[in-house]
Amino acid sequence: MSNKYEAVIGLEVHVELKSKTKIFCSCSTEFGGEPNTRVCPVCLGMPGAMPRLNKKVVELAIRTGLGLNAEITKNCHFDRKNYYYPDMPKNYQTSQFYSPIIRNGYLDIEVDGTTKRVNISFAHMEEDAGKLIHAGDNILEADQSLVDFNRAGVPLLEIVSAPDIRTPEEAREYVAALKAILEYLEVSDCKMQEGSLRCDANVSIRPVGSTELGTRTELKNMNSLRAIERSIRYEIQRQIQVVEEGGQIQEETRTWNEGKGITEAMRPKLSSGHYRCFTEHNLPPLAIDEAWIEEIRSNLPELPEARKRRLIDEVGLPEYDAKVITASKRLADFFDETVAEYSDAKKVSNWIMVELLRLLNAKGIEIEDCPVRPGQLAQLLAMIDKGEISGKMAKDIFEKMFDTGKDPKTLVEELGLKQISDTGALEAMIDEVLAANPKSVEDFRNGKDKAFGFLVGQVMRASKGQANPKLVNEILRKKL
Ligand code: ADP
Ligand code: MG
Ligand code: ZN
């Protein structure tokens, strides 16, 4: 970034709350399903249909607020946010405008080794809208769109950060940290691909040193952490260029085009005044009593920061390992379950960070769908220690475990991969190699150490990689 400007970023994150039923009716919230089959008069917005608030949704919202160090608004209510668009047949979204259930929280993030606090201004409950499916997947080019109301009425929590974020990296880290906390709290699935966590980014620039906020644009349609970082980076550069060329930033909503790697103007931004929000009188005001909040507080699970500390202090992991492993609750669970059966924690963390994460990444699989179970990784590590397989073989076997879900023992037998540790068999093999390579033997005896490595390599080759390398070394040295 040009050092004349600084970026100012505020994020609005919508998360789907993990409730079996919708926020104001008893339709199922399950993802998928034939279009328009999980609907009723309430979530279709039929005139006269009366909403009823789902208690579970309020509980999940409170839980989130407590996890984000926030205040809970004990007396709050819902409002109508009026707009006209085919995804919402009522022509208003039931949301909380005047009294969000959560206020004044914060989240600490770490970027480049420094900790930074991002304030969370508020978070409010609302209903999701229906889903528009644009022909060709591109809203700007589609000549027709279909609508599916299964998602209408699914409970959302919109978490709004203060404009405290300054770089694309911080934005990414904020969303990653928020996602981790929400997963630990078990309030949302947080699947960006399925849309259960969506992020809008508000971006502006200003001259370095200025304390005023510049005109912002709002970015939508980012489906991954990477897309959040990339879209913001692009948008900052675009804004700098507009300003440098003497132009003005338009306050507008822009859509991220993942294929082209650019943001594109979509519509002028509507400010809250345009929505003419007013209280929803079909729902009574919501009074939350202290005792309920305290009950929820007393049941809060361990959060990422505390778990990271525990892995450092009690399990003895280096800080870096602990951070990578606790970034996802499911990964941390995988670690704990493996260590329960194989006690060398550092070795387990190495395998998780290097092999497991690499394969998950390469195959595009989430940890919860990982075909290898923690007990199977523990078995594999024990087999290396017993000398049944070499470390190198273990890596190949691990990849096969990943592809087939089979136990390492089964795979070793099926593939005939057992490490050869039988001294008699190894001696015979080594004798053959020595007889076939008299020149190398002579070289070695004349002080050329390289020749030794070559001979070891020949034995490993003859055994198809299955000879126990430690024993090969010992026997070879003896024979030479
Ligand atoms: P809206 O009416 O669009 O919801 P809000 O004032 O509620 O507007 O702000 C939404 C988000 O935009 C917040 O995360 C806030 O921090 C951020 N934001 C507001 N003004 C700016 C700005 N000038 N530059 C960057 N982000 C901003
Ligand atoms: Mg907004
Ligand atoms: Zn319904």
Phi, then psi, of 161 in degrees rounded to 5 = -85, 155
CA-to-CA distance for 161 and 107, rounded, in angstroms? Answer: 9
- Atom number of ligand 1 nearest to Cα 271: 2
Distance between CA 303 and CA 186 in Å, rounded? 11
Q: How many domains does the chain have?
A: 3
What domain range includes position 430?
Answer: 423-479
**What pLDDT band is residue 2 in, cutting at 50, 70 and 90?**
low
As a whole number, mean pLDDT of residues 374-392 equals: 90
**Closest atom of ligand 1 relative to the 272 alpha carbon:** 2
What pLDDT is recorded for position 449? 82
Burial 196-216 (b: 16+ CB within 10 A, else e): bbbbbbbbbbbeeeeeeebeb
Residues 427, 411, single domain; the answer is no
Residue in 18, 22, 61 with CA at minimum distance from that of residue 42: 22
| DSSP β-ladder status, 197-207 and 5-16 | antiparallel
Least Cα distance to 367 among 406, 409, 325, 407 occurs for: 325
**Residues 56 and 92 reside in one and the same domain:** yes
pLDDT value for 1: 52
Closest CA to 460 of 479, 433, 438: 433
3-state SS assignment for residue 461: helix
DSSP 200: E
Q: What digits encode the pLDDT tens for the residues 232-256?
A: 999 999 999 999 999 999 999 999 9
Based on the fold, state whether residues 11 and 74 are members of the same structural domain: yes
Ligand nearest to the CA of 150: 3
The verdict on 252 and 353 lying in the same domain is no
- Does 461 lie in the same domain as 440? yes
- Ligand 3 (ion): residues with CB under 5 Å are 25, 27, 40, 42-43
Run of H or E including 198: strand 197-207
Question: Torsion angle, CA of 172/173/179/181, rounded to 10 degrees?
Answer: -170
Question: Do 354 and 335 fall into the same domain?
Answer: yes
CA 202 to centroid of ligand 2, rounded, Å: 8
Q: Which residues line ligand 1 (CB under 6 A)?
A: 8-12, 160-163, 202-204, 213-214, 216, 271-272
Using the mean position of ligand 2's atoms as its centre, give its distance from the Cα of residue 370 in Å.
Answer: 36
| Span from the CA of 272 to the centroid of ligand 1 (angstroms) | 11
Tell me, in angstroms, the distance from the centre of ligand 2 to residue 12's CA. 7
**Both 286 and 331 in a single domain?**
no
Say how far apart CA 109 and CA 274 lie, in whole Å.
34
- Whether residue 314 sits in one domain with residue 255: no
Q: Which helix (H) or strand (E) holds 311?
A: helix 304-313
List pLDDT tens digits, range 397-422: 999 999 999 999 998 888 777 777 77
pLDDT tier, 425 (very low <50, low <70, confident <90, very high otherwise): confident
Q: pLDDT digit string (tens) for 118-169? A: 999 999 999 999 999 888 777 778 888 899 999 999 999 999 999 999 999 9
Mean pLDDT of 361-384: 91
Q: 392: CA distance to ligand 3 center in Å?
A: 55
Q: How far apart are CA 460 and CA 468, in angstroms?
A: 8
- CA–centroid distance, residue 154 to ligand 3 (Å): 9
Average confidence score pLDDT of the chain: 92
Nearest ligand, CA of residue 44?
3
CA-closest residue to ligand 1 atom 24:
204
CA 202 to ligand 1: nearest atom: 26
> Do residues 423 and 475 touch, judged by C-beta distance below 8 A?
yes
**H or E element at residue 347:** helix 345-351
Helix (H, G, I), strand (E, B) or coil at 209: coil
Please tell me whether residues 277 and 395 are part of one structural domain.
Answer: no
Ligand 1 atom showing the smallest separation from residue 213 Cα:
23
Distance CA 407, CA 285 (A): 56
Q: Measured between alpha carbons, how far is 94 from 81 in angstroms, rounded to an integer?
A: 6
Whole-Å CA distances, 456 to 125, 302, 463, 472, 473: 66, 50, 11, 7, 7
What the block records as the tokens of 120 is: 């969370």
Residue nearest to atom 17 of ligand 1 (CA): 10
Residues 390 and 428 in one domain: no
Q: How far apart are CA 93 and CA 89, in angstroms?
A: 9
The rounded distance, in Å, linking the Cα atoms of 168 and 174 is 10
CA end-to-end span of the chain: 63
Confidence label for 32 from pLDDT (cuts 50, 70 and 90): confident
H or E stretch at 450: helix 450-462
Angular region, 411: left φ>0, alpha ψ -120 to 50, beta rest: alpha
**Do 168 and 80 belong to one domain?**
yes
Q: Which of 9, 12, 205 for a ligand 1 pocket mutation test, highest count of atoms within 8 Å of Cβ?
A: 12
Look at residues 396, 415, 434 and tell me which one is the last residue of a structural domain: 415
- Measured from the Cα of 161, ligand 1's closest atom is 14
Whole-model pTM over 0.85: no
Indicate which residue's Cα is closest to atom 14 of ligand 1.
Answer: 10
* Over residues 254-269, mean pLDDT: 93
Domain boundary among 240, 264, 293: 293
CA 52 – ligand 3 centroid, Å: 11
Does 284 share its domain with 383? no
Ligand nearest to the CA of 49: 3
CATH value at residue 439: 1.10.10.410
The closest-lying atom of ligand 1 relative to the alpha carbon of residue 214 is 23
Last residue within a domain, chosen from 258, 275, 293: 293
Q: Hey, what are 332's tokens?
A: 């941390």
